[in-house]
Amino acid sequence: MAKFKIIYERAGCIGASACAAAAPGFWTMDEAKDAKADIIKTKNPTKLTNGNEELLIDEKDLAMNLDAARACPVNVIHIINLDTNEKLI
């Protein structure tokens, strides 16, 4: 059962690729469209009307996504602990 939620503010992405380097199983670069990052489609992220993407993840996938979020130079990747509502980043 998912315990964490990734919230990605796609509009602010500057295409640095650091997220895709840190967690290539979750993040990819959309070179065909606008060179911003996307959560990989097969993970089935929720795409919001404001352009944000959200994804529920398990604890086993937390560390690599925290690495991706910490690597982002513009801090547009956030992760929330759904048990405690604590914003981890």
According to the binding rule CB under 6 A, does residue 16 interact with ligand SF4?
yes
Write down the least CB distance from residue 22 to ligand SF4, Å: 8
Cβ proximity to ligand SF4: between 67 and 81 the closer is 67
Nearer to ligand SF4, 4 or 27 (CB): 27
**For residues 9-29, b (16+ Cβ closer than 10 Å) or e, as one string?**
bbeebeeebbbbebbeebbbb
C-alpha pair distances (Å), 84 with each of 33, 53, 55: 36, 21, 17
CB 13 within 8 A of CB 36: yes
Task: Tell which one of 14, 48, 82, 88 touches ligand SF4 (CB under 6 A).
Answer: 14
- CB nearer to ligand SF4: give 74 or 82: 74
Six-digit token string for 21 = 């380097």
Q: What is the three-class DSSP state of 72?
A: coil
Least separation, in Å, of the C-beta of 33 and ligand SF4? 13
- Told to check if 57 binds ligand SF4 by CB under 6 A, we report no
